[in-house]
Amino acid sequence: MDVRQLRYFLGVVRAGSFSRAAEILGVVQPALGAQIRRLEAELGLPLLRRLPRGVVPTPAGERMVAHAARVLADMATIRAEMAELAGRQARRVVLALSRSSDQMLAEQLAELCRHRLPELELSLVEAATAQMRDWLVAGKIDAALTFGDIAGPGLAVESLAEEPLCLVEAGGGRARKSVALREAVAGRLVLPKPRRHVRELVEEAARQEGLVLQVGYEVDSFRAAREFARRGLGAAILPRSAVAAPADRAGLLVRMIGPPSLVRRLRLATRAEAPAEPLAAMLAALRELAGIVPDAAAP
C-alpha cells in the first residue's frame, strides 16, 4: 500500500467512474485500474463494486474512504509543516565565536540584524577555532568569527579587523604611549595558557627577537589578567579592547607594545561556495560593522 494507491482510490470513488477519475488524475485508465486491483489484493477485500455505469464503494471501501482521506490529509499537513520548517531553516544563520573574538561586534551584529534583517534568525554559538573549522566543513555552522588561524581546505577566510596588544601594569598617571617588546617582556608576565592565541602571538614575537619570557601566572580570563596586573603580581599583555572601558583601565598603566608591534587579526571564515542569500546579508552587515569592503584581502 502506498500514498499513490490511496490517492487513486479516492479519486475513483469521488469521480464515480474509472474513466472520469483517469482524466482528473492525469493517468491512463489501465494503469489506474491496475493500482486499484493491487490495493484490493493487498487488503484481501473488494473496495469497489462495478456497475453498468460507474462504480461505488463496497462496505469495506466505505471504511477505506475514511482511512485514505485521513492519511492523505496527514500527508498534506506533514508536507506543509516541513515546507514551513525548511523556509525557517533557510532564514537561519549560525555564527560561531571564539571566546576571545569580538563579543561587542557580535552584539552589534545581532542588533543590526534585528532592525535591518528582521526575518533573519541569527544563532550565536561559542567554540574553539579548531572546532569551528570542523563544523564549517561539516555544514553545522554557516560562518565563524575568530582571532585564531582557521584556514583550511574548502574555506574562505578574510581579515575583518586588526587590534594591537598592550602592556598592562599596576599604576597610572602619564607615561610614554608605547614600550618596546624587549622592555615589555623583561619582567614577570601574566599570560593566557599555552595554545591560546594571545599567548602564541607573544611567544612567536619573543622567539623572533631572541627573548626569553618570564611567565609568572597563566590565566585565560582577560578580567582576571587585569586584576593580577592591578595587584602588582605581574605585567599582563592584553588586547586593547580588554582595557578600553575607563573602569577597566582604573589603577592601570596601559601602553602599546612596539617595536615590534603585536597585532591580532579578527578573521571571518565561511565555506568557499557562494553563500545563500540570508548568509550573504548577514556577512554584509558584519563587514559593515567592521568597517571593511566585501572583497577584503585574506590575512
pLDDT digits (tens, 9 = 90+) for 127-143: 888 888 888 888 888 88
Model pLDDT for residues 179-217, shown as the tens digit of each residue: 999 999 999 999 988 888 888 899 999 999 999 999 999
Which of 60-64, 71-75, 209-213, 220-224 is predicted least confidently? 71-75
Q: Compute the distance between CA of residue 224 and CA of residue 192 in angstroms, rounded to an integer.
A: 10
- The Cα angle at residue 235 between residues 299 and 215, in degrees rounded to 5: 80
- Which of 123, 140, 97 has its CA nearest to residue 271? 140
> Is 233's pLDDT higher than 50?
yes
Q: How far apart are the first and last CA of the chain?
A: 59
Domains located in the chain, CATH noted: 3-89 (1.10.10.10), 90-160+265-290 (3.40.190.10), 163-264 (3.40.190.290)
Kindly report, residue by residue over 135-169, the tens digit of the pLDDT.
888 888 888 888 888 888 888 998 888 889 999 99
pLDDT at 188: 94
Query: Which pTM was predicted?
Result: 0.59
How many CA atoms are closer than 13 Å to the CA of 299, on its beta-carbon side? Answer: 21
pLDDT at 100: 63
According to DSSP, the β-strands at 155-170 and 178-179 are unpaired
For residue 89, the surrounding DSSP H or E stretch is helix 59-90
Rounded to an integer, what distance in angstroms lies between the CA atom of residue 155 and that of residue 151?
A: 7
- Where does residue 148 fall: left (phi above 0), alpha (psi -120 to 50 degrees), or beta otherwise? beta
Quickly state the pLDDT bin for 236 (edges 50, 70, 90): very high
